[in-house]
Amino acid sequence: MFFLLQNGYRVIAHDRRGFGRSSQPSGGYDYDTFADDLAQLVEALDLHEATFVGHSMGGGEVARYVAHHGQGRVAKVAFVSSVTPLLLKTETNPTGAPKELFDTFRAAVRANRPRWNLDVTMPYYSFNRPGAHVSEGLRESYWRQGQATGFLAAYHALGAFSETDFGDDLKKITVPALVVHGSDDQIVPLEISAKLTAGFVPHAKLIIYEGGSHELLHVDKDRLNADLLAFLRS
């Protein structure tokens, strides 16, 4: 955000319900509601010709927003390490991850959320790879943000981002799209996400960061900043 601001762009980040400084309601932790929340913000700020950038589960938010609220205010979209189109293994999505995997995540959140938020940083940043430079600062920052998230949001988000099918949403995107993903994404594997997402979106450009982790925003921020800036200027 700071980099793009320095290059002359207005940059806005919202806190999804239950996350960050947003309120922590008892319900609404699903993508229809997330998209409606985003639409209220976009309309309140009266945004036009905006580029929507979604990281991880935020990619699904961008896709569902376009599907439900159209592209009238959208100039471009970008998906970074996005959970789209569908992570869960089903009869029609045989390459997805089994539900049992996400059940273990939910169990870990229930059992010891502070431990979960710390442990997940290792695969999240690919700090568990041989020769990786582990940043304890990034791990602590992730932990802080994770602990600030409401428990309901942390728990139900696991089902929302893994079980929601965004295939039909992606097909409705006709504006220019950028899809960026790391080849070593251990949270959202490349083969079941970005490669398929780029195929669903008619005008998508796929960029793969060789050896890149799920958290490209920090570990590969200089390259990602340059790619986003080039996309905005194109």
| Residues noted as catalytic | 56, 185, 214
How far is the C-alpha of 177 from the C-alpha of 35, rounded, in Å? 18
Amino acid letter, 215: E
The C-alpha torsion from 158 through 162 and 165 to 167, rounded to 10°, is 120
Distance CA 185, CA 168 (A): 24
Short-list 51, 24, 66, 13, CA closest to 151: 24
Number of H helices, E strands in the chain: 11, 4
Quote the CA–CA distance of 14 and 41 in Å, as a whole number. 8
Dmax of the chain from CA atoms?
Answer: 47
State how far the Cα of 120 lies from the Cα of 112, in Å rounded to an integer. 12
Helix (H, G, I), strand (E, B) or coil at 206: strand
